[in-house]
Chains A and B, each alone.
Chain A
Amino acid sequence: MHSALQPVGPRAELIADLMLLFFAVSAVVYVIVIAFLVWAIMRARERAVQLGPAATAQADRKSKVAVGVGAALTVLTLAGLAASDFIVGAILRQPPADPLRVLVTGHQFWWEIEYDDPVPGNRLRTANELHIPVGRPVQLIFTSRDVIHSFWIPSAMGKMDLIPGRTTNEIIQVSQPGTFTGQCAEFCGFQHSKMRLTLHARPAEEFDAWRQRQLAPAREPQTQEARRGQQVFMQSSCILCHSVQGTAAAATVAPDLTHIASRRTIAAGSLPNTPSALASWVLDPQRIKPGSRMPASRLPPDDLSALVAYLTSLQ
């Protein structure tokens, strides 16, 4: 479904084409070498027990030529493959014009995503879901807050590591709207498996509208229950790690929840964003992602449902 061989953007297409070239060349080489091997073995099975020295010497002269030709062909093939790799690499390294800049920071075990903007008020923080406009190249700037992670969306781009103390970057460009999945590719601890992410590519206007919506501070709770949920949020452990723009919650060590209800998944792509999943996640994250950084909040049932009501209201 999401495969490196089903690319959705021009850059991933180039890599996929190169991959097909390597596959094709390899298949031909394999068939030829194995054919020679099988031929040699078949021939040797119906031969005299041992060749005489004269016959061996004569055969060796032929072999010399054959091995020499084989070695030369190997060199040529490899040179061709190297050249194609260098060409594709050079194309991919060309800096794009007017890219959208997005900062991606790796955390155990989630992705912090920040859209860069000269106006500080327009910098947008979100998590685990990367939204990009179709057609426009996006420059991703990576770093990590803890251990090494690696950002990978097979159908859209190759990997790039997120290394503490360094920044790396990579371009992603998608030419068709859609949702594409990926996950952390560098082993990063207990929940490396569930450090997933999704890429949402959408037309430019839709993307701009999404960005505007996301920039707005959190919606004030509308219902009685949501208001109570907000109180629960502010008085429990949630507030120590999470932030909700427009409220007192401003911690940055865990994902920003200002628009949590607009996301499709929670817990870095491990669960669908439904009220019941949300409730079970808050109640005992360690059952769903053992070793993740979020502690269990064993709230009484009505506090829990109020909290979920509040969170689901954060559109």
Chain B
Amino acid sequence: MCSRSSEPRERATAALLSPYRAGVASVVVVMLLLCACEREERQFSAQGGSSPSAASMAPASITLSDLQPGVSTQARRGERELEVNAFSISEGQRLYEWFNCNGCHANGGGAIGPALMDDVWIYGSAPANIYATIVQGRPNGMPSFRGRIPEQQVWQIVAYVRSLSGQARKDAMPSRTDSMQVKPRQVALPREEPKSSAPPSGNQP
């Protein structure tokens, strides 16, 4: 019988194939793991959410200096979130509207406030700079949101604001919202190279 004779062959090939398949699968898995995990996580509360430490959320823990606080651990965490996490950017997009950022900055093109989707950054383009701008406020109209917006939500807004000029990962950005199309599709825009920050003067645009 033909089928009987084929049986040992099947077994042999299965033995031959299984390590090969497993190897390929594990390589693929590892490769995907590297890029997927951070993009897809839905982090509902700030890290270590089970034990809220009041200190980390207290307004006082935020530096008042205009100098870049880019090395603090919070800033680094915020930065990572902003570059890679789709949920954070999407939450930032929602909060940008909920907290009326679009009241002054429109949908990134700028109105009363400066544009956010171009390459000009008056107070610095680093995540920590934007964070400081939101928390501390700036002269000529940018109010301080210290104590108003919890830290995690500020970082989410930072993530979204940076994505407006293409500073976030493309595969983590939302393509559009369910509203009138008021700006070009974010993912289609080129990544702006932020210009070195101009010194804060009284007459920014």
Taking beta carbons and an 8 Å cutoff, which residues of A are in contact with B?
Answer: 146, 164, 190, 235-237, 239-241, 251, 253, 283-284, 286-287, 290-291, 293, 295-298, 300
Report the count of interface residues on B (CB-CB < 8 A).
21
Whether A296 and B52, one on each chain, are in contact in the complex, defined by CB atoms closer than 8 angstroms, is yes
B148 touches A284 (CB 8 A): no
Please tell me if the beta carbons of B49 and A284 are within 8 angstroms of each other in the complex: yes
Residues on A with beta carbons closer than 8 Å to the beta carbon of B152: 295-296
Question: Which one, A235, A236, A240, A297, contacts B98 given CB within 8 A?
Answer: A240
Flag if B49 contacts A240 (CB, 8 Å): no
Residue of A nearest to B53 (CB): A298
Selecting from B17-25, B38-46, B104-112, B117-125, the interface stretch reads B38-46
Say whether chain A's binding surface is mostly helix, strand, loop, or mixed: loop
Q: Which B residue sits closest to A285, measured CB to CB?
A: B45
Instruction: Give the residues in chain B near A241, CB-CB below 8 Å.
Output: 98
Q: Say yes or no: is B178 at the interface (Cβ < 8 Å to chain A).
A: yes
B interface residues with partner A (beta carbon < 8 Å): 42, 44-46, 49-50, 52, 54, 57-58, 94, 98-100, 147-150, 152-153, 178
Known contacts: A164-B178, A253-B98. The answer to whether A287 contacts B45 by CB under 8 A is yes
Known: A164-B178, A298-B150. A284 touches B45 (CB 8 A): yes
Which residues of the partner chain B approach A286 to less than 8 Å between Cβ atoms?
A: 44-45, 49
Q: How far apart are A194's CB and chain B's nearest CB, in angstroms? A: 13
In this complex, the member of A235, A284, A290, A298 whose beta carbon has the largest number of chain B beta carbons within 10 angstroms is A298
Whether A300 contacts B54 by the Cβ 8 Å rule is yes
Which residues on the A side are within 8 Å of B94 (C-beta)?
293
Residues of B within 8 A of A240 (CB): 98-100, 148-149
Contact in complex: B149, A291 (CB < 8 Å) = no
Q: What separation, in Å, do the CA atoms of A295 and B155 have in the docked complex?
A: 13
